[in-house]
Structures are given as C-alpha cells and as structure tokens.
C-alpha cells in the first residue's frame, strides 16, 4: 500500500494492500477500496463508499458525497462501484437516499470523463462512456454500453436503454430506448445506433432486425404504442426488449417510466 504523507485516511477505512493514495486525498470512515485501485491527488472518498478492484481516480474526484436533495442531505447511505472504472478530473458521484434503498450503484469498465456528475440513487450499468461535462440527475438508470456525449443533461427519473447513444448538448427529459441515437433539445430519436451495437458484439442479423423494426416504429407515422404491442412477442430478444421498453415509456408519467414509481417524502 502506498499512501502519500499528505493524504488523510481514517483508521476505519478498509484499503487493500496494493491500493495507492495520492497527495492531499481524504478517505473517510466506513470506506472499502479494492485491490489495484489508484487514487490520485486531491480526491475525496466519503463515508459509505465501496470501490471494487482496479479503479482509477485521477485527480479532484469526489465519491460518495452527500445527495443534493434537501430532504435527505444528511442521509447515512451508500455508493457501490464495481471494477475497472476510470473517473477523470472533477468527477462527482453522490451516494443514495432513503427514497431508493440508500444506494447509488455503478457497474464495471465505465469511462467517466472530466467534470461529469452522477446524482443520488442512480444505477449505471457497465461499459458506459460519458464524455466531458455530462450531468445525470438523481434517480436515473443508464444501461450497459451507453455513450453520452459532452454537455448532455439527463433529467431525474429518466431511463436510458442499453447501447443507446446520446448526442452532445442533448437535453434528455424522457426515457431513451435501447439501440438508438438521440439528439436535440429536447432529445429525440434520430436513427439506429448501428456502430454502437457492432462494437458491443451484436450480430449483423440482429442489427438488421432492429433497423427494420425501427423504421416500423419511428418512421411510418403510426402509433408507437400500437407498433410496440405488435412486437412484444417477436422471436428476437432484442426486438422484445425494445418493445417492452417503449411500452413502459408510454405508460410512465411524462414519458419516464421511473417517474411513476416515484416515492415522495
């Protein structure tokens, strides 16, 4: 274990033997940090934070800070982060609130670039790329292999399906279906995320099926709900996933399914 002389590590924190902690970093009590994790200078890891193995916090990263929620600002809650994530300069990650199991959850192999924010009670999957200054409000869910481009803003209680692509400066105020690209203010579906699916290892046959279904749902002018209902028992698991997501979106308040589950204080 390598801990710089100027770092402050609470005796109640659990650090694996080969964790590195840089200058002026502060690690509070009830923190657990896994093997191979590298924490750079001027970082802050707050009470209730659990980091897995081989994570990298470059500099000025804040993990597990209090939720920016006036009703639960002092909540004793948690954030759990998986393995092999990279958090660049000035990233901030808030812990959860009692509204949703006191937990913010982040998966594996995510690349979170400079000045991004993940709010309280969010659930992020794995393989996500967030480019500079992406802001995700509280209670959002983001699926695996999603790309969010610079300055995109995601409103609270929003879900983004896996392998979706969010354009730069997009204002996301409704759920984003899987396998598509969205852009604009407010964000709208523009096309299939073919490149993203290819990079995720989806077969060309499945990609072609999604492209065919996309045209039927989004480019014919017919009811999205009716088209989704017609596809709910399709032979393709990916088509069924898209149809199920769209039906949830249509049923949710304001086009956000998770909004219908909202628990008010």
Q: What is the pLDDT of residue 7?
A: 98
Q: Give Cβ neighbours of residue 138 (< 8 Å, ≥ 6 apart).
A: 67, 68, 69, 94, 97, 119, 120, 121, 122, 156, 157
Please report, for the chain, the start and end positions of each structural domain, with discontinuous segments joined by +.
2-191
**pLDDT value of position 72:** 79
What is the Cα–Cα distance from 202 to 122, expressed in whole angstroms?
Answer: 26
Rounded Cα distance, 220 and 254, in Å: 23
Q: What is the mean pLDDT of residues 121-139?
A: 98
Average confidence (pLDDT) over 4-31: 97
What pLDDT is stored for residue 163 in this prediction? 98
Q: What is the DSSP string of 196-247?
A: HHHHTT--HHHHHHHHHHHHHHHSS-S-HHHHHHHHTT-S-HHHHHHHHHHH
What average pLDDT does the chain have? 95
**Using one digit for the tens of pLDDT, what is the confidence trace for 60-81?**
999 999 999 988 777 789 999 9
Radius of gyration from C-alpha coordinates of the chain: 20
Distances (CA, A) of 247 to 20, 101, 132, 192, 214: 47, 26, 32, 18, 15
pLDDT grade for 20, boundaries at 50, 70 and 90: very high
pTM above 0.85, yes or no: yes
Position 226 confidence tier, pLDDT thresholds 50, 70, 90: confident
pLDDT tens track for 183-223 = 999 999 999 999 999 999 999 999 999 999 999 898 876 78
pLDDT at residue 265, as a whole number: 56
Distance CA 247, CA 68 (A): 31
pLDDT band at residue 93 under the 50/70/90 scheme? very high
Class of domain 2-191: mainly beta
Please write the tens of the pLDDT for every residue from 135-184: 999 999 999 999 999 999 999 999 999 999 999 999 999 999 999 999 99
Listing DSSP states for 39-70 in one string gives E-TT-EE-TTEEE-SS-EE-SS-EEEEPPS-T
CA angle 172, 153, 61 (to 5 degrees): 145
3-state secondary structure of 146: coil
Per-residue pLDDT at 121: 97
Residue 218 tokens read as: 């989004």
**132 confidence band (pLDDT: 50, 70, 90):** very high
Average pLDDT over residues 250-256: 91
pLDDT of residue 263: 73
């Amino acid at each position: 274990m390598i801990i710089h002389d100027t770092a402050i590590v609470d005796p109640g924190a659990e650090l694996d033997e080969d964790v590195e902690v840089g200058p002026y970093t502060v690690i509070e009590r009830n923190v657990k940090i896994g093997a191979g994790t590298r924490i750079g200078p001027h970082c802050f890891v707050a009470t209730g934070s659990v980091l897995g193995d081989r994570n990298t916090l470059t500099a000025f990263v804040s993990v597990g800070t209090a939720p920016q929620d006036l009703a639960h600002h002092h909540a004793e809650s948690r954030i759990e982060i998986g393995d092999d994530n990279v958090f660049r300069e000035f990233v901030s990650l808030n812990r959860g609130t009692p509204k949703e199991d006191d937990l913010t959850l982040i998966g594996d192999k995510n690349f979170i670039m400079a000045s991004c924010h993940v709010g309280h009670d969010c659930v992020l999957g794995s393989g996500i790329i967030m480019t500079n200054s992406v802001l995700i409000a509280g209670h959002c869910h983001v699926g695996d292999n999603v790309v969010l481009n610079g300055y995109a803003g995601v409103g609270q209680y929003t879900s983004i399906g896996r392998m979706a692509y969010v354009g730069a400066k997009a204002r996301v105020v409704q759920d984003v279906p899987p396998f598509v690209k969205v852009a604009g203010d407010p964000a709208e579906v523009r096309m299939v995320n073919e490149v993203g699916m290819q990079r995720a290892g989806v077969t060309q046959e499945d990609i072609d099926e999604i492209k065919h279904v996309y045209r039927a749902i989004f480019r014919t002018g017919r009811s999205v709900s009716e088209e989704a209902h017609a596809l709910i028992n399709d032979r393709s698991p990916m088509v069924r996933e898209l149809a199920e997501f769209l039906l949830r979106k249509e049923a949710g308040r304001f086009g956000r399914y998770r909004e219908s589950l909202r628990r008010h204080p």
